[in-house]
Amino acid sequence: MAENAGGPPGVERRTKPAHESRCGSDESTLPMASQPLLLTHIGGPTALIEFGGVRLLTDPTFDPAGGEYPSGSAKLRKLSEPALSPATVGLLDYVLLSHDHHFDNLDRTGRSLLSSAKATLTTEEGAGRLGGNSIGLKAWQSMTLPTRNGPVLRVVATPARHGPQGRDRGAVIGFVVSIGDVPDQGIYFSGDTVWYEGVAEVARRYTPRAALLNLGAASVPEVGPFHLTMTAREAVEAARAFVSAAEEIAQAFAAADLSHRLRWPELGRSIQIDR
């Protein structure tokens, strides 16, 4: 919620493909887990995600530094410039908007960008306020969306809680996005949330290739000492939780000093076993 709501420095990790998805053309003909994934942090919670020929933008904030925004009885001031301008970001397919009602997740310039995307995915409450191309989702709701290359983008809305239980700062959702029906190889964007049972459930259900977490332990006077986004300690908790079966196996072998005995054959490729 505040300037220090922070961006998605992310916990990037790769998973071994549990199963394959082949579709479309160009790089989208690659299995999901082999497709290049490009992440560009623009500032605060704003990042460009590119994979499988799809361009997604999280929580658009592009106002220049120095902007002031009313927040209850206080004023928020934006401290840093966005690293890229909307013109530099270029064409967008979809916007993943965790919530629309905080300026540090959707500022004035960011709001003016929404109509340039095919759709803005956000909370049901947010879609009611925004109208236009917005689509409201509730936690665990999923949908598929067309992409330019042919394969579909699958979006699963994930639960988020923007503060302590009973005193959160309004409805927020996160997202797991993937090409085709392989959400366990997708990308997770947490939105503004603390670490709680809802996020732990995301980690139980999916093993995304990358998790973008809004960190910074943001706080506001109205909620006292409680934080509204994840603390560093909670991010460590998340990094522990978002571990793939392959990583667990690798860790177990390493702990047993047996890493040299573990081989991961690449799918479809023969490996020679000498002994």
- Pick 34 or 67: Cβ nearer Zn ion: 67
- Pick 102 or 227: Cβ nearer Zn ion: 102
- Pick 4 or 29: Cβ nearer Zn ion: 4
Decide: 217 and 126 in contact? Cβ < 8 Å. no
Minimum CB–partner distance for residue 81 and Zn ion (Å): 20
Minimum CB–partner distance for residue 218 and Zn ion (Å): 7
- Pick 148 or 167: Cβ nearer Zn ion: 167
Minimum CB–partner distance for residue 57 and Zn ion (Å): 17
- Pick 32 or 194: Cβ nearer Zn ion: 194
User: Which residues of this chain interact with Zn ion, rule CB under 5 A?
Assistant: 1, 102, 192
Minimum CB–partner distance for residue 105 and Zn ion (Å): 5
Decide: 199 and 213 in contact? Cβ < 8 Å. no
Minimum CB–partner distance for residue 229 and Zn ion (Å): 7
